[in-house]
Amino acid sequence: MAKKNKPQAENGQKIQTKYDRKMEARRKQEEKDKRDEKIFRISLIAVCVVIMAAIAGSVGVSVWNKRSATKDAYVTIGNHKVTKLEYDYYYQATLNNYSSLMSYMGVDTTSDLANQQYTENLTWKDFFDELTVEQIKQTKALTDDAAANGFTYDTGEEYAVAVSSLQTGAESAGVSVKEYYKTIYGEYATEKNMEPYLKEGILSNAYYDHLIEQNAPGVQEIKEYYEQNVQSYDKVDYRSFIFDAEAAEGASEEEVNKAMSDAKSKAEAMLEARQGGADFKELCVENATEENKASYEDSETDASLREGAYYSGTPAAISDWLYEDGRAEGDITVIEDTEGNRCYVVQFINRYYDEADDENISNTIASQKTSDYVNSLIEGYNITDNKGELKYLTVETESGSAPEENGTDEAAQ
């Protein structure tokens, strides 16, 4: 039996059947799948390489920033190279010291200080940068001088107290001690690397106290200082009563003058009654408003009496009269306070010096001497802004004025 010949194309090639075409399509799809898988693997490797490079770069930048912050000079003060780590310690400490005052100073603690103007050319960050540098200068000058003069101090006990306080602060804040150090002193702060700065501060404070003791004046110096500042340290005892001008809010000048005239008439009537022998306290009760009468009627106190008042602690309207030379016990007068729209009836009792103020005068003299001495020390501590971050050093020079501080290097070297 003859075999059937398979169909041939006219050019002699084999004609593909439906089955052949199906198998050929499968073969091509398999080749495409293998090619796509190879491309995917290559792409995946490339992506992983990029991700790993990014991670390595990030870690590298972080390590570099930390090394720079802990090793490189951020600012040089005198011959002391201060790192960013140390600078941040003092900067944060300065902010913490002013934290309770910032709202009164107009500082918004919720936003960046570098974006809040302190003056036309300076921000609040510049303000606190300057305070920080001055604090570092003083600390370095004191510790250097302490070493030069052989002063030593055991900082162990006070340091332990400081560490305990920080631990308590962390507990109160609900964070770890590690995180608390970063919050208080900067992102690279740790208990270990903050230790030398805390101890240096303790030493400088101890040396400052030592200088105060060394500068304590003798008896004669205290006496001479008192004689030159008698009015500041003498005290007075006196009685007074106030008649307020009863003028309505928004009253005209004429109405205010009429109210002041009425108040003065009442004050003069009380003066005459006192000169006639009436008791001062009883006259106060008699003339007091219903609102104030109870305080004058109190049998255990005398609301009209002031004892041991310094010049600075007496109302400005009556202080000069009370401290006038030759003022004698029993002197009494009426004094108009036009700024306060009131009249005083004032009776002088006594003026004297309290020897307990010897200690206050001694502290004042010692503090002034010590302050002058420390200021003389820090004059030689020039500033080099190594990183160019301390704007306050250059802003005046840029505007054509002299630098704020003599001997200050104004820009990074």
The tally of CA atoms less than 13 A away on the side-chain side of residue 4 is: 2
Q: What is the mean pLDDT of residues 70-80?
A: 93
What was the pLDDT predicted at 409?
45
Average pLDDT over residues 240-257: 88
The whole-number pLDDT of residue 28 equals: 60
Q: What percent of the chain has pLDDT over 90?
A: 69
Quote the tokens at residue 336.
């108009």
Q: What band does 35 get if pLDDT is binned at 50, 70 and 90?
A: low
- Residue pair 194/89 in contact (Cβ under 8 Å)? The answer is yes
- pLDDT computed for residue 67 by the predictor: 75
d(CA 139, CA 65): 26
CA distance 325 to 328: 9
Phi/psi at 366 (nearest 5 deg)? -65, -40
Q: Is the pLDDT of residue 5 over 50?
A: no
Structure tokens at 149: 């003069």
Confidence band, pLDDT 50/70/90 cuts, at residue 237: very high
The pLDDT of residue 83 is: 95
pLDDT confidence of residue 69: 77
What pLDDT does residue 48 have?
A: 42
Question: What average pLDDT does the segment 229-237 reach?
Answer: 97
Quick check: helix, strand or coil at residue 240? strand
CA atoms of 392 and 95, how far apart (whole Å)? 17
Are 328 and 348 contacting, i.e. CB atoms less than 8 angstroms apart? Answer: yes
Determine the average pLDDT of the residues in 168-190: 92
Find out whether 317 and 325 touch, Cβ atoms under 8 Å: no
State the pLDDT at residue 248. 79
Amino acid letter, residue 268: E
Q: Which of 279, 340, 335, 330 is nearest to 304 (CA)?
A: 279
Mean pLDDT, rounded, for 176-201: 93
pLDDT class for 39, splitting at 50, 70, 90?
A: low
User: What pLDDT does 3 receive?
Assistant: 43
Residue 303's pLDDT is what? 94
Q: Mean pLDDT, to the nearest integer, of 319-337?
A: 97
Q: Average pLDDT, stretch 232-260?
A: 91
Lowest mean pLDDT of 23-37, 169-183, 362-376, name the range.
23-37
Share of residues in the chain with pLDDT > 70 (%) = 80
- Across 27-31, 55-59, 103-107, 323-327, which has the greatest mean pLDDT? 323-327
- Tell me the pLDDT band of 217, cut-offs 50, 70 and 90: very high
Q: Where are the alpha helices (DSSP H) in 72-83?
A: none
The confidence score (pLDDT) of residue 30 equals 63
- Per-residue pLDDT reduced to its tens digit, 41-65: 544 444 444 434 443 344 344 554 6
Largest CA distance in the chain: 166
Lowest mean pLDDT segment, chosen from 131-140, 199-208, 241-250, 375-384: 241-250
pLDDT for res 12: 44
Q: What is the pLDDT of residue 270?
A: 97
- For the chain, the average pLDDT equals 85
Report the pLDDT averaged over residues 354-375. 96
Please list, in sequence order, all residues whose beta carbon lies within 8 angstroms of the beta carbon of residue 353, skipping any fewer than 6 positions away: 226, 230, 233, 234, 235
Q: Tell me how far apart the alpha carbons of residues 272 and 289 are, in angstroms, rounded to a whole number.
A: 20
For residue 99, the SS3 value is: coil
Tell me which amino acid residue 54 is: A
**Token couple for 208:** 């400052």
- Nearest C-alpha neighbor of 271 from the set 335, 342, 333: 333
Handedness of CA 21, 22, 23, 28 (dihedral sign): positive
pLDDT value of position 14: 47
Residue range 239-256: average pLDDT? 88
Confidence of residue 220 (pLDDT cuts 50, 70, 90): very high
